[in-house]
């Protein structure tokens, strides 16, 4: 296009000439745009749809849309005996089936006044902590991939497969277990399982240093997650956040310590919390309490504590029954109970109301991911578009448990 033709176009389109002048002066107005992130998107960790209101690369508002996996789980629980509902709890948080089994079982046992044998309690603790490690390994591996690091994903899933081998040896399943059931566990541990578990712990514990070298203290990873999506202790309490999110913001709160269940009061372990830059073992700069990096790293530290708990449980594993004698057709009294346990994602609670029959009158679940996701709009405001995967990934949601 020659010069004369260009001048003719500008003269015929005065608005274009005004935009060029504004661009040169640096005061060109921008227009907001709505962008759909999900519901099929790798960084949403499931069928989560987030509507982003953007001004260029800046996020003005992020609104989560849920409900794509709703399956009426609570209503189903009001039409089945408790032992029949256990398989449905696996499907709520499919990365922590053992912990979900445990939560519902503990609630029903408390309502029915049922005693779990010591061996059953110890096996529950072992399985719950193994599942906590397996769940955190998925979180770590996928989070690294969200930030552009593929290798940690392979490392984490390699170790997770070994845990799934242990689960398969104990109950025959690798994802949805229904192993922790009403009154204890479905069946006893097979011969040689304890030794196999010890071998895994000896292999796994040094691998945590590999994760830290590959990802946790990687300069680029810290830049992508440090001081991003920071949640203050006040906001944590205000929004009802639990699990790694509340501990990453510096609040030392864990139901295994605060309100022990299944004998957790017998075990010696620490509650990791988020630390500021320069603390012992933490990066010298680039992070702050309550940011995305601390939410990630609290899970790394929790895996170390889970190993510590499992070793104690294996050492003191008692002989005897693994389950109460009567677990079917148990009459639930005309009363109600609400019990919460410490799921890998936070506080998982079940409300169960009985009416004298063997089938609950009312079942209600309080999912940690559902509550943790509620802060999305608040914490994703005035950040960059590229920071959204870092923030959502650090919350670690499972959509089956959000929707139920």
- Kindly report, residue by residue over 290-341, the tens digit of the pLDDT: 999 999 999 999 999 999 999 999 999 999 999 998 888 889 999 999 999 9
Q: Is residue 350 part of a domain?
A: no
Residue 42 confidence (pLDDT): 73
Axis-axis angle for helices 388-395, 118-146 (nearest 10) = 180
Q: Is residue 334 part of a domain?
A: no
pLDDT band at 10 (very low <50, low <70, confident <90, very high): very low
Kindly report each contact of residues 113-116 with a partner whose C-beta sits within 8 Å and lies 24 or more positions away, as own/partner: 113/333, 114/182, 114/183, 114/324, 114/330, 115/324, 116/183, 116/184, 116/262, 116/323, 116/324
Q: Is residue 140 part of a domain?
A: yes
The predicted model scores a pTM of 0.90
Contacts for 105 with CB less than 8 Å, ≥ 6 apart: 82, 86, 180, 181, 182, 183
Q: Is residue 398 part of a domain?
A: yes
Tell me the percentage of the chain whose pLDDT exceeds 90.
75
In this structure, the dihedral spanned by the alpha carbons of residues 209, 211, 214 and 216, taken in order and rounded to 10 degrees, is -100
Q: What is the CATH number of the domain that holds 295?
A: 1.10.645.10
Over range 341-364, report the average pLDDT: 95
- Digit-coded pLDDT (tens) for 40-67: 777 778 888 999 999 888 999 999 999 8
- Same domain membership, residue 104 and residue 11: no
Nearest by Cα to 196 from 99, 314, 63? 314
Q: Is residue 343 part of a domain?
A: no
Residue 284 confidence (pLDDT): 73
Rg of the chain over all Cα atoms, to the nearest angstrom: 25
- Same domain membership, residue 189 and residue 311: yes
Residue 29 confidence (pLDDT): 64
Alpha-carbon 245 to chain mean position: 9
Residue 25 confidence (pLDDT): 53
- The pLDDT of residue 9 is above 70: no
- Same domain membership, residue 137 and residue 18: no
Element housing 24 (H / E): helix 14-25
- The pLDDT of residue 35 is above 80: yes
- Same domain membership, residue 115 and residue 3: no
Q: Is residue 358 part of a domain?
A: no
- Same domain membership, residue 268 and residue 189: yes
- The pLDDT of residue 28 is above 70: no
Contacts for 139 with CB less than 8 Å, ≥ 6 apart: 296, 299, 344, 393, 396
- Digit-coded pLDDT (tens) for 163-208: 999 999 999 999 999 999 999 999 999 999 999 999 999 999 999 9
The 10 Å Cβ neighbour count of residue 368 is 30
The residue segments making up the domain with residue 210 are 82-327+386-403
Can you list the alpha helix ranges (DSSP code H) found in 231-360?
233-239, 244-248, 255-258, 292-315
Strand partners, 351: 338, 364
- Same domain membership, residue 169 and residue 238: yes
Over range 113-125, report the average pLDDT: 95
Backbone angles phi, psi at 36, to 5 degrees: -85, 120
Q: How many domains does the chain have?
A: 2
Nearest by Cα to 370 from 338, 337, 400? 400
Q: Is residue 174 part of a domain?
A: yes
- Same domain membership, residue 6 and residue 101: no
- Same domain membership, residue 132 and residue 1: no
Residue-by-residue DSSP string for 232-258 = -HHHHHHHT--THHHHHTT----HHHH
- Same domain membership, residue 21 and residue 143: no
- Same domain membership, residue 282 and residue 138: yes
- Same domain membership, residue 243 and residue 125: yes
- Digit-coded pLDDT (tens) for 363-390: 999 999 999 999 999 999 889 998 999 9
Strand partners, 59: 54, 383
Nearest by Cα to 78 from 305, 292, 308, 359? 359
Average pLDDT, the chain: 89
Residue 67, both tokens: 């409900």
Residue 20 confidence (pLDDT): 45
Q: Of 100-104, 152-156, 179-183, 397-401, give the lowest mean pLDDT range.
A: 397-401
- Digit-coded pLDDT (tens) for 239-286: 999 999 999 999 999 999 999 999 999 999 999 999 888 777 678 788
User: Using an 8 Å Cβ cutoff, are 89 and 103 in contact?
Assistant: yes
- The pLDDT of residue 349 is above 70: yes
- Same domain membership, residue 159 and residue 279: yes
Q: Is residue 196 part of a domain?
A: yes
């Amino acid at each position: 296009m020659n010069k004369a033709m260009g001048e003719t176009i500008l003269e015929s389109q005065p608005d274009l000439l005004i935009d060029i002048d504004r661009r040169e002066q640096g005061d060109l107005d921008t227009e907001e745009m709505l962008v759909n992130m999900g519901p099929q998107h790798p960084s949403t960790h499931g069928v989560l749809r987030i509507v982003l209101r953007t001004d260029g690369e800046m996020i003005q508002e992020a609104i989560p849309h849920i409900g794509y996996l709703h399956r009426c789980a609570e209503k189903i629980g009001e039409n089945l005996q408790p032992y029949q509902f256990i398989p449905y709890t696996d499907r709520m948080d499919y990365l922590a089936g053992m912990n979900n089994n445990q939560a519902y079982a503990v609630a029903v046992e408390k309502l029915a006044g049922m005693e779990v044998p010591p061996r059953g309690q110890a096996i529950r603790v072992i399985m719950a902590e193994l599942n906590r490690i397996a769940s955190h390994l998925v979180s770590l591996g996928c989070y690294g991939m969200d930030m552009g690091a593929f290798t940690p994903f392979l490392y984490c899933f390699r170790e997770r497969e070994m845990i799934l081998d242990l689960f398969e040896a104990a109950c025959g399943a690798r994802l949805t277990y229904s192993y922790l059931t009403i009154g204890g566990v479905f069946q006893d541990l097979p011969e040689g399982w304890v030794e196999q578990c010890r071998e895994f712990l000896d292999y796994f514990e040094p691998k945590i240093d590999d994760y830290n070298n590959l990802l946790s203290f990687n300069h680029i990873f810290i830049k992508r997650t440090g001081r991003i999506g920071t949640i203050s202790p006040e906001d944590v309490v205000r929004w009802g956040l639990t699990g790694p999110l509340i501990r990453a913001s510096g609040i030392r709160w864990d139901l295994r310590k605060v309100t022990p269940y299944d004998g957790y009061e017998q075990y010696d372990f620490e509650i990791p919390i988020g630390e500021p830059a320069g603390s012992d073992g933490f990066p010298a700069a680039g992070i702050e309490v309550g940011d995305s990096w601390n939410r990630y790293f609290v899970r790394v530290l929790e895996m170390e504590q889970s190993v510590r708990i499992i070793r104690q449980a294996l050492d003191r594993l008692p002989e005897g029954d693994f389950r109460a004698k009567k677990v079917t057709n148990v009459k639930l009294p005309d009363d109600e109970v609400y019990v919460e346990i410490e799921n890998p994602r936070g506080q998982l609670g079940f409300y169960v109301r009985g009416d004298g029959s063997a089938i609950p009158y009312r079942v209600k679940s309080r999912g940690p991911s559902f509550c943790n996701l509620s802060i999305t709009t608040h914490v994703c405001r005035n950040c960059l578009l590229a920071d959204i995967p870092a923030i959502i990934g650090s919350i670690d949601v499972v959509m089956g448990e959000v929707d139920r």
